[in-house]
Homo-oligomer: A and B are copies of this chain.
Amino acid sequence: MNSVANFAQPVDAVAPIARDAFRNAMAKMGAAVNIITTDGPAGRAGFAATAVCSVTDSPATLLICLNRTASVFDAVIGNGVICVNVLASAHEDLSNLFGGKTSVDARFAAAEWRQGKSGTPVLCDALVSFECRISAEADIGTHRVLYCTVEEIHDGSDAEALIYFQRAYRRVGG
């Protein structure tokens, strides 16, 4: 309780956690599957992501974590706007497409979209979609964390959700 010397200071050197050990452990933290889209001066792009998190409702803000070497990185940063589309259980194939090596055009051809106010593609049958503007950024290790102010919400279907847990798709709710 009294020692300032122990305050948030590592006492001993700590061996770094191996990448595989971290990935295997994180696989046990289930997460919603989303398709994140962007469009604008830097081009159209979209990718599947589970690293999305609510931050605060005042002002309505979420964050996404994006590898700075991802093929979609320049488009996302260049446009400054994204749409987070929360997937339903029926979107398993779409998730695989947006998580693979398929071309941008082939990805978007596999589903129905409408253009949001921000110009981003909104997935017509998502559970819910958040049109967002990137408001702050932080580089952490290999990734950039993008804080995104929500500007528009499109409430969608009440279908079952698509959850990724232990490296497999799961269906919940409905």
Q: Please, how many angstroms separate the alpha-carbon atoms of A127 and B1 in the complex?
A: 28
Residues of B within 8 A of A170 (CB): 172-173
Number of copies: 2
Q: Pick the interface stretch among A93-101, A103-111, A160-168.
A: A160-168
Query: Is the beta-carbon distance between B28 and A86 smaller than 8 angstroms?
Result: yes
Q: For the complex, is A72 an interface residue (Cβ under 8 Å from B)?
A: no
Query: Is the beta-carbon distance between B140 and A16 smaller than 8 angstroms?
Result: no
Residues of B within 8 A of A165 (CB): 32, 161, 163, 172-173
Interface residues on A, range: 35 or more
Residues of B within 8 A of A6 (CB): 40-41, 119
User: What are 25 A-B pairs with beta-carbon distances under 8 A?
Assistant: A1-B40, A4-B41, A7-B40, A10-B133, A10-B151, A14-B133, A16-B60, A17-B60, A25-B130, A29-B32, A29-B52, A29-B128, A30-B161, A31-B32, A51-B54, A53-B65, A54-B65, A55-B145, A56-B65, A57-B142, A61-B141, A138-B138, A165-B172, A170-B173, A172-B172
